[in-house]
Structure 1
Amino acid sequence: MKIKDMDITSLAAYICNHLDSKGIKVVLSGGAVVSIYSMNKYQSYDLDFIENISSSRKEIIKAMNEIGFSEQNKYFTHPDTEYFIEFPSGPLAIGREPISEINTIVTPVGNLKIISPTDCVKDRLAGYFYWNDQQSLKQAIMVYKDSNVNLQEVEKWADREEKLTEYKTIDWNK
């Protein structure tokens, strides 16, 4: 499959698989995860990969160049796709809590390591709790409606983040 024909899940899996073959261990997080878990009700063009094991920027640049991506400021772009790739600094965490559950989505072009739907909701709620980002709240609700999310775990996380009062105001049926 050519890059120009890949949807967000396939492209993310292709990149994840290629980086893994080079010893670079990454996990997809951020808005692209919302796109995947909400069945594209929310569309992100930014694929954020967080490294599980730190690699040098030179290693990442070399690996991305091998599959046709070039570095433009902090992003990687490819002439055949509108998606852009970023490698935000780790660790892989939401608020003060490290992420321990990594899901794998198997595709024809490789395996995608991705945060769980529950952690995706926590990630979006962090944006809502800490920056009052209403769009992040809408995204959390989208993922909840379209994926298997453990709201009890989300509530416990909100309590640990000292955001339980804010959490209890959320209408998950919006």
Structure 2
Amino acid sequence: MNGWIGELFHPDNVDRTVDQLVEHQQVGRSSGQRDKVRERLTAAETKLHRLQAAIEAGAEPVALVDSLNRAQAEKAAAEAELANMTEPSALDRAEIYAMVDSLGDVGAALGGASVEKLARLYRDVRLDMWFDYEKEAVDATTSLRVNSAGVRGRSYTLTTTLRLS
């Protein structure tokens, strides 16, 4: 594994690694949060439609006022939350190079480094591995993370995966 990491970040291969990261960016998006808000919006809209259909079918509108008001408030809150969410943009090549540079000399960190330095490097490259039983191969994923004011002041994660057969 150290050989793979060393190869990824070796000066001769940095351009290829950056190309892969640019192509496969999974910028630390809050897509899960956005999806939850969209689900709340859909649920509120569905509730409103059902209540309106009940009124059209003959239900007493006065009996449904509180439910209608609550559903309308839920809908407005979800719409406002979605409107205020910003979608982080993808990083450009220079920003990704800056992230890679922030790791320092990866080869030196791998060669004869203390356990603490290796642990820090593995944390910084966020190394994950899993075995694919059907293909009898290991999928290894590394993600660069940065929490820095220098890279648009946000936290980003960039991921690349390699299959080791």
Q: So what's the TM-score if we normalise by structure 2?
A: 0.22
Larger radius of gyration: 2
Q: Which has the higher helix share?
A: 2
Q: So what's the TM-score if we normalise by structure 1?
A: 0.21
Using CA pairs below 8 Å that are at least 6 residues apart, which structure has the higher relative contact order? 2
